[in-house]
């Protein structure tokens, strides 16, 4: 039984596409990127996620797709919604679509006409592809154009390497710190590097637009999956660059904090994320083992990290005595971070119970809401993901 059983019915409703609909902004309220036109030559995930975010913020996004085939993710299913791949639907709202064959002269002319009225170009083809079509930043020769290129490993020596998220996770070190042990590397449950790269692309594009507003000059914005991943590994990366530490996978544990992992209760797993000694003392009190808080092996965070195996055994014995609901309801009011390991239905239900409005409805389609909240220029949901025939 989940600690969130009280909202399980909302989870079921969310799965049926009727719960947590995001409030639509009043039509009179302008969006942040009103008037910005984006020529979107992107496919798959990283760049389409970036252009969807910009579309949510009010930009007009025209997605260029290969005639008759479209974005590869149109075929990436199951699951499907009314015959359309939910993968494609997840990152392509607030866009219109045009089919252009860039391999033909007529198609390249059509693409140039589209770019001529655009403020931003976004592309994530293999490096050199847009240059071959005469559609790269230098060939277009527009001083006021913001041009964003996303690749797997840059446009230099890594240009020929395939830019797949799984490959980036492997060679970029993320899989080396993810998994139960050193011989069992595990990827993340979603294409996290692609998503992070899309977010970084948004930041770069918005910064370039801000500069253009001030100077009239656009610029080239470049990102690659590997560089984004190394930056996003934050403390793990800094541990290497500053201290020469090469981290290893620790399962659900943290290299610098304890207790910070998954524990089994009488009925289901919960997470404890105890970030300081005060929280640890409260935890020990609730578990009826106050002596652990003064034990020299556990009295400080550094000591707890050093003796994490012994700490895990001591806490596990106590936590198995009661169900997860009991610990959740008892520890949370005391400021001890803990929570159940939810499935995605219960995760949406939790967000709904906290009034976070996790979904947005466009026509008969319920999508995940944009998490950015702006008080004056809120995001908007104007267009369902385009069908290829559009």
Strands 219-224 and 146-151: parallel
Task: Report d(CA 261, CA 252) in Å as an integer.
Answer: 5
| Number of Cα atoms under 13 Å in the Cβ half of residue 163 | 29
Q: Is 165 a catalytic residue?
A: no
| Number of Cα atoms under 13 Å in the Cβ half of residue 11 | 15
The secondary structure element, H or E, covering residue 165 is helix 165-171
Number of H helices, E strands in the chain: 15, 13
Nearest Cα to Cα of residue 14 among 351, 382, 274: 351
Instruction: Choose the catalytic residue: 194, 224, 267, 364.
Output: 194
Task: Report d(CA 247, CA 332) in Å as an integer.
Answer: 31
Give the Å distances, CA to CA, from 259 to 52, 64, 273, 281.
Answer: 38, 49, 6, 12
Nearest Cα to Cα of residue 21 among 291, 375, 339, 356: 356
Give the Å distances, CA to CA, from 155 to 77, 151, 164.
Answer: 31, 7, 15
Q: What residues act catalytically? A: 194
């Amino acid at each position: 039984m989940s600690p969130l059983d009280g909202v399980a019915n909302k989870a079921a409703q969310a799965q049926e596409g009727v719960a947590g609909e995001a409030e639509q902004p009043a039509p009179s309220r302008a969006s942040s990127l009103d008037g910005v036109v984006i020529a979107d030559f992107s496919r798959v995930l990283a760049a389409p996620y970036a252009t969807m975010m910009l579309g949510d913020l009010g930009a007009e996004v025209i997605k260029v797709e290969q005639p008759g085939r479209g974005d590869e993710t149109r075929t990436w299913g199951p699951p499907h919604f009314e015959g359309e791949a939910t993968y494609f639907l997840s990152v392509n709202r607030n866009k219109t679509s045009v089919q252009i064959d860039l391999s033909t002269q007529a198609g390249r002319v059509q693409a140039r006409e589209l770019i001529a009225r655009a403020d931003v170009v976004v592309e994530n083809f293999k490096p050199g592809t847009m240059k071959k079509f005469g559609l790269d930043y230098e060939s277009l020769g527009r001083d006021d154009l913001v041009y964003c290129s996303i690749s797997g490993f840059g446009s230099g020596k890594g240009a020929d390497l395939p830019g797949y998220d799984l490959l980036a996770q492997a060679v970029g070190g993320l899989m080396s710190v993810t998994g139960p042990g050193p011989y069992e590397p595990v990827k993340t449950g979603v294409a996290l590097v692609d998503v992070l790269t899309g977010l970084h692309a948004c930041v770069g594009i918005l910064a370039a637009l801000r500069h253009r507003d001030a100077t009239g000059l656009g610029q080239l914005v470049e990102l690659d999956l590997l560089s984004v991943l190394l930056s996003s590994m934050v403390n793990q990366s800094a541990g290497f660059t500053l201290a020469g530490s090469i981290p290893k996978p620790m399962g659900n544990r943290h290299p610098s904090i304890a207790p910070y992992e998954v524990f089994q209760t009488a009925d289901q797993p919960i997470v404890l994320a105890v970030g300081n000694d005060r929280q640890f003392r409260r935890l020990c009190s609730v578990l009826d083992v106050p002596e652990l808080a003064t034990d020299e092996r556990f009295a400080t965070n550094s000591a707890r990290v050093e003796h994490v195996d012994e700490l895990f055994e001591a806490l596990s014995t106590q936590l198995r005595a009661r169900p997860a609901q009991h610990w959740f309801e008892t520890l949370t009011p005391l400021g001890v971070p803990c929570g159940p390991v939810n499935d995605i239905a219960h995760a949406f239900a939790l967000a709904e119970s906290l009034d976070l409005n996790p979904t947005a409805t466009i026509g008969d389609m319920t999508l995940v809401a944009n998490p950015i909240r702006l008080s004056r220029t809120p995001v908007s949901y104007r267009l369902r993901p385009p069908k290829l025939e559009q």
